[in-house]
Amino acid sequence: MWTSGEGMVIRTRGVSLEGRGYGPTPERAPTIVLLHEGLGCVELWRDFPQKLAEATGYGVFAYSRQGYGRSDAALLPRPLDYMTREAVDVLPDVLKAIGFKKGVLAGHSDGASIAAIYAGSVQDHRVRGLVLMAPHFFTEPMGLDAIRDARQAYDEGDLRARLGRYHRDVDNAFRGWNDAWLDPTFEAWNIEEVIAYIRVPVLAIQGVDDQYGTRAQIEALETQSYNPVDVAMLEDCRHSPHIDQPDRTLAAMAEFVGRLDAIEAAEAEAA
C-alpha cells in the first residue's frame, strides 16, 4: 500500500514498474488510476495527481508503464497491439497490486485508449467510470503528421534532452511509441469496437486545438456508446488538458466523480 506522495515499485510478470499514490489508499476511499500518454510517466503528471486527490477526496494512483520513467525498459519494437496488451495483460496486475476496490480509470492519449480497451474488454464491476483525455480510437492523418514532427524534434531538436530528465532510458521510451505509430501497417489501427462494450459512464475531455486528434475521436465515442458520455471541449487547449487547462480539467473530473458518488448513493438507498 502507498504512503501519499512517495514512490513505490510494482512487480508484474517479471517487470518492475514505478508507481506513486496520492491521498487515501483504496481501503479508505475510491481510487482514480491515472494512465499516462505515449511519452508520459509518473513524473510528467506533475502536481496534477495531488490536486486531483484534493479536489475529489479520492485516492489517486499513477504508474509508469514498461519502457517509461523509472520502470524497466521494454523490448523493442513494441507489438502494434501494445495498447490492447497493456489493457488486458498488465493493467489487471497493477490493480491487484494496489488493492484496487472501486473507482475510476483516467487516461490521457495512449492511456485513454488503454482505459477504454480495459473497460470494453475486461468485466470489472469495480470500475465505476472512465475519464478519457484526448483518446485515440483510430489513426488520423493529421495525428500521424504530428508524430512525424515529434520524431524530427527528437532527432534534430531538444526533445530528447527534455524527455531525458524523466525517462531512465529515453530512447526506449521514445522509439517504443514513435516507431509503433509510424509503422506503415499501424495506419489501419482501430479500436472502435470496444466502445459498444463499455458499461460505465464516460467523461471525455479534449482540447479544441489538439494536434494529435480531431473531434472525430469524441464523436465516435458519443455515437457508438450505449452509456452516458459527457464531453468537455476545452478552448485554448492542445493535446494535454491537464497541463494546458488544469483548473477546468480538475473541475470537470471532480464534478464527474461527484455524480458517480450520487448515483451509487441513490442505488444503495433504493436497494
The single-letter DSSP state of residue 138 is B
Domain ranges in the chain are 7-270
Give the span between the Cα atoms of 8 and 130, in whole angstroms.
Answer: 24
Name, in order, each residue with C-beta under 8 angstroms of 271's C-beta and a sequence gap of 6 or more.
Answer: none
**pLDDT score at 266:** 87
Give the span between the Cα atoms of 196 and 115, in whole angstroms.
Answer: 14
**pLDDT score at 13:** 87
CATH of domain 7-270: 3.40.50.1820
- Give alpha helix (H) positions in 209-245: 216-224, 241-244
Give the span between the Cα atoms of 74 and 13, in whole angstroms.
Answer: 12
Residues of the chain predicted below pLDDT 70: none
Strand segments (E) across the chain: 7-12, 15-22, 31-35, 59-63, 103-108, 127-133, 202-207, 229-234
Give the span between the Cα atoms of 98 and 59, in whole angstroms.
Answer: 11
**pLDDT score at 52:** 98
- Give the 3-state DSSP-derived string for 13-77, with helices as H, strands as E and coil as C: CCEEEEEEEECCCCCCCCEEEEECCCCCCCHHHCCHHHHHHHHHCCEEEEECCCCCCCCCCCCCC
One-letter identity of residue 235: E
**pLDDT score at 270:** 80
